[in-house]
């Protein structure tokens, strides 16, 4: 019996007041790669990108390490996914591009969740809908990016 397994894991963490770091891993029989992205918060600017290719299928894939650092200085906004896929994925590795997109979206979602959890500790009766609307008033570029509201 032929069995195929793919594991993708993404985790985000707060490192200091204005820095968020997200790490992603993709592993299956063909690919094994890692990505770590540091984001300045609240400017939503990518500070650094580090990638590592352990297993890949084309000679372009290892180029991802150099290519993906071009995202440094880009912002989390509605244009980011397309830029990553077109400007970076085509020149490096499309699988790494998708992992990077997942990481960027995860760091934004994680921050929304973290801020909501902190607000609920202070006010358990908090109006969650109003909280989310206020979050997107503070970070308007994330509203279209996350497409939650």
What residues does each domain of the chain span? 7-146
* Dihedral angle, C-alpha 78, 143, 95, 31, nearest 10 °: 160
pLDDT in tens, the chain (149 residues): 668 888 999 999 999 999 999 999 999 888 899 999 999 999 999 999 999 998 888 887 877 788 999 999 999 999 999 999 999 998 888 999 999 999 999 999 999 999 999 999 999 999 999 999 999 999 999 998 987 54
User: Other C-beta atoms within 10 Å of 13: how many?
Assistant: 12
């Amino acid at each position: 019996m032929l069995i195929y397994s793919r594991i993708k894991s993404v985790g985000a963490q707060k490192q200091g007041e204005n820095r968020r770091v997200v790490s992603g891993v993709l592993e299956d029989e063909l690919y094994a790669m890692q990505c770590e992205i540091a984001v300045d918060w609240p400017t939503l600017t990518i500070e650094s990108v580090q990638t590592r290719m352990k297993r890949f299928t084309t000679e372009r894939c290892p180029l991802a390490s150099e290519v993906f650092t071009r995202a440094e200085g880009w912002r989390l906004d509605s244009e980011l996914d397309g830029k990553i896929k077109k400007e970076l994925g085509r020149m490096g590795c499309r699988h790494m591009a998708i992992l990077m997109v997942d990481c960027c979206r995860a760091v934004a979602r994680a921050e929304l969740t973290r801020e909501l959890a902190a607000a609920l500790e202070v006010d358990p009766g908090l109006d969650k809908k109003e909280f989310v609307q206020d979050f997107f008033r503070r970070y308007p570029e994330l509203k279209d990016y996350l497409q939650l509201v």
